Amino acid sequence: MGVLPHVASHPLAQHFQSLGLGLQIAICLGGFIALSVVLNVASQMLPKDPTRPPLVFHWFPFIGSTITYGMDPPTFFRENRAKVRDARAPRHGAGLTVM
């Protein structure tokens, strides 16, 4: 009496097994993409190390802000410069800031 036989006997698992292979692959791929987006956004929302440079918020991992930047680069830079400027400004008494 393990967990796997109990999960495999669940009606949702039985319905998934009755689907075609192509649909099973599509569901798994969609679930993987959704999970990666949720984990990526959650990792950006957690408090960061203040000594590290800030990240520009993005939804999809590895793609980042490429689409937003590609649609209108001047607006992208203007909006994100306002968010990042204070964090990257050299501070008196702080370590060497290289830009």
Mean pLDDT split into 10-residue runs, the chain, 99 residues: 81 91 96 94 85 80 85 88 66 54
Residue 91 pLDDT: 57
pTM for the model stands at 0.64
The candidate with the shortest Cα–Cα distance to 38, out of 47, 49, 46, 27, is 46
User: What is the C-alpha separation between 83 and 40, in angstroms, rounded?
Assistant: 20
Residue 93 pLDDT: 57
Whether the Cβ atoms of residue 68 and residue 76 lie closer than 8 Å to each other: yes
